[in-house]
Structure 1
Amino acid sequence: MQHAIFDWIKAIIRKLIFTLSALSPRSSNKALFGSYKERFCDNSKYLYLHWQQTKFIRCIWISGNQDVIKQLQSQNLEVYYRWSMKGIFHALTAKYYFYNSYIGDINQWLANGALKVNLWHGLPMKKIEFDINAGPLAHVFNPKGSLALYKQWLFAHQQRITPDLMLSPSPLIDSLFSSAFRLNSSQLIRATNPRTDYYQLHPSQRKKISESTVQSTGPNAHQLQAVQPSIILYAPSWRDSHKQANPYNSAFDWQRLSAHLVAKNQLFLLRLHPNEASLADELTSYANIINISQFEDVYGFLQDVDLLITDYSSLFIDALPLKTPICFYRFDEAHYQQDCRDMYEYAAKLPDIAPKCTNFEELLEQLAPEAITEQKHKEIKEIESNNEDYRNSDINNYQAVTELFWGQDTPNAFTALEARIGDRS
């Protein structure tokens, strides 16, 4: 009982600190950046790197991870520990916060008064934030009763702070973000994402899946043959309902998969969500199966992926403009939709753009080199609109879904943000 009372007192004091932080004067020529799980990744990373190079505004990364701090310091980039004197000072005096999830990516208690730009980390198919009405997170965003609402206002502080601005590439995303984050149209900036734009503007900084990169992940990495192996990326969504059992052990026959990969000269890059990355630790002993869950992100080499396997993750949306072949592996669809978050209604109405597998045998068929090649050669091209075969084809569907998410001629994130923020010189 005493411990519970202390937690309430601490939460109230923190809320008071947040309220008072609005009184701090803030410099309009200074922007702070941070990311979830204390990583250096995702949209905020690429916006930070781009503006570091163009000198548009003073860019400061904030982190609680000393390894990240040392990494950026070694590159002569400005970075501070969150609770250092400089970290606190800049959190109180920077005009702009750019983050991937919540203001706690930077500092959730000192952000009041800053212009908060949530770059978010995905274009959603499953319900997010205040649209969540089922699963473990429903009580955070849609608590039942006045007392429960007040409790979440105190204890889920950063989740209930509305961002001032968000990027949205299309009318569909406008509607989703407006609902999920309780935004009006003036708070949405029509733009693509920094993570999908960065390597188009800085192609020389793209990464390759090289032998040294792969072998650095473990002793059982593939020894590259004379012919470059095909790259298969598996990036499933976070299963926020799993408790103890590793769902990927029942979804894959890892030994058979490994044997197939070796025989077909393929590399299987395993990229689990940061919230369940530890589940990949026990899967590192199989040849040609490489755990890259610890990588910052995949955008530096996404253009070289021969096949992307996912389920409900929005990574496939980021891969659409690259015309990457996709395979959906939804081995637990019924369970996921029952015990995890609901999907948005539009997701069930999307036209087919790729094979959908529900068991390992079906998936293994899609990993055959000829199946991947068939998908890869489906070029998106203009064909007469009265061609019935084309209108009903995966090719046309792929293009239609790409435009649904990304719009047409959508400005890149850097240009759009700079126009909104204004000249910093």
Structure 2
Amino acid sequence: MIKVLKAVKVVFKYIVMFLTMLMPRDYKLCVFGAWLGERFADNSKQLFIEASERDDIRAVWITKDKTIVDEIRKMGYEACLWGTKEARKVQLRAGYAVISNGISDLEHTFLGNAIIIDLWHGVPLKKVVYDNKYEKNWDSPKQKLRDSLIYIPLGKMYFVATSEMFVPIYQSAFRRRKDQIICLGQPRSDIFFDEKKPKPYFPGKNIILYCPTHRNEGKEPIHIEKIFELDKLEKYLAGKDYYLVIKKHF
């Protein structure tokens, strides 16, 4: 019985998704989301802030977290809580949708025929999505059917790469045409190219950057103090005038 109800729910979702293709889209309205709707972060966040400062774009952040809604509204920007009538209405009308992980960053059921821009959240130094054969069987009949169905309402999807070198990698990883991969760079890195903005680093200093990715899909904590002898390292770096910057994965 549970399987039957689940199947009915999925069928209903796809019917709604196809029906939303009939909605008139407002191309001055753009919805933003990130990390399955659970975070206000990443490339989506930076582009959202920039878009919110413009007069020719209405930018709306969609999130599952009420505290994030309050935080964004205090900043003077627009945000809606996931699953509310307000959020669904905005997504039904949006001409553009910006994400940084995948279509589940937003309620994609309501984005039929919207132009979706996936900014992604890094560079593919490892195999991701369709190239990651360990994640799931991407070529199973069930997965192929799902992909072909979703492509009809959500096929206007573009991926932002940081250089031409990554274009064929993105094509393979996301199984998209070359014209769906755009080389624009990542919004969160724009600050490094803007001479007017202060840089978040130590000018003239030697920097060592350590950015470990997640362990066991984020379930295993990264204990920096077990990796490095921090007191000894601090003394050594101070003597050499080096800075060690550590950014752990979420």
2:108 is paired with a residue whose SS is coil
Structure 1 equivalent of residue 178 of structure 2: 185
Instruction: Give the Cα separation in 1 of the matches to 2:218 and 2:53.
Output: 42
- Give the equivalent residue in structure 2 for 1:4: 3
Residues 57-72 of structure 1: pairs in structure 2 closer than 5 A: 57-72=57-72
SS in 2 for 1:138: coil
Distance 1:81 1:11 in 2: 22
Q: Which one of the candidate residues 164, 170, 178 is aligned to 2:163?
A: 170
Q: CA deviation at 1:268?
A: 6.1
Unaligned stretches of 5+ in structure 2?
none
Instruction: Name the counterpart of 2:231.
Output: 259
Structure showing the higher strand proportion among its residues = 2
Aligned to 2:22: 23
SS at match of 2:213: coil
Could you tell me how far apart the structure 2 residues matched to 1:255 and 1:153 are? 41
Q: Is the CA contact (8 Å cut-off) linking 1:63 and 1:81 kept in structure 2?
A: yes
Q: After superposition, give the CA deviation of every residue in 1:33-89 in whole Å (9 maximum; x if it has no partner).
A: 111142111111111111222334111111111121111111111111122222111
2:98 alignment partner, SS class:
strand
CA distance in 2, matches of 1:163, 1:120: 16
Write the mapping of 1:273-288 to structure 2, written as runs, cut at 5 A. 273-274=249-250
* Change in 2 beyond 3 A, CA 1:206/1:87: farther
How far 1:109 sits from its partner (Å)? Answer: 1.1
Q: Which amino acid aligns with 1:138?
A: K
CA shift, 1:178, in A, is 1.4
- Deviation string, structure 1 residues 94-127 (Cα, Å, up to 9, x no partner): 1000110112212121111111111111210211
Distance 1:163 1:75 in 2: 31
Which residue of 2 is the match for residue 87 of structure 1? Answer: 87
Q: 1:163 to 1:22 in 2, by over 3 A?
A: closer
Once residues 25 and 93 of structure 1 are traced to their aligned partners in structure 2, the CA distance between those partners, rounded to angstroms, is 7
CA distance in structure 2 between the aligned counterparts of 1:163 and 1:177, rounded to whole angstroms: 16
Q: Secondary structure at the match of 1:116?
A: strand
Q: What number of residue pairs does the alignment pair up?
A: 242
Displacement of 1:32: 0.8
Specify the alignment match of 1:110 in structure 2: 110
Distance 1:60 1:4 in 2: 35
Q: Report sequence identity in percent.
A: 22
Moved more, 191-200 or 30-39: 191-200
**Residues 34 and 106 of structure 2 are in contact (CA less than 8 Å); yes or no, is this contact kept in structure 1?**
yes
- Give yes or no for contact 2:99–2:117 (8 Å, CA) kept in 1: yes
Matched residue type, 1:30:
L
| Alignment TM-score, normalising by the size of structure 2 | 0.81
Which residue of 1 is the match for residue 32 of structure 2? 33
Aligned residue runs from structure 1 range 240-389, under 5 A:
240=216, 246=220, 248=222, 254=226, 257-264=229-236, 265=238, 270-274=246-250
2:211 is matched with: 235
TM-score, with length taken from structure 1 = 0.50
Q: 1:168 to 1:241 in 2, by over 3 A?
A: closer
Give 1:132 shift: 2.1
What's the CA shift for 1:92?
0.2
Deviation (angstroms), 1:230 = 8.3
Higher Cα Rg: structure 1 or 2? 1
Residue 138 of structure 1 is matched in structure 2 by 136
Bigger mean CA deviation after superposition, 195-204 or 81-90: 195-204
The corresponding residue for 1:200 is 193
CA contact (8 A) 2:116 2:154 kept: no
CA shift for structure 1 position 27 = 0.6
Q: RMSD over aligned Cα, in angstroms?
A: 3.3
- Report the Cα distance in structure 1 between the residues aligned to 2:46 and 2:199, rounded to whole angstroms: 12
The 1:233–1:171 alpha-carbon spacing in structure 2 relative to 1, beyond 3 Å, is closer
Partner of 2:55: 55
TM-superposed CA distance for 1:241, in Å, is: 6.4
Partners of 2:156 and 2:215 in 1: CA distance: 26
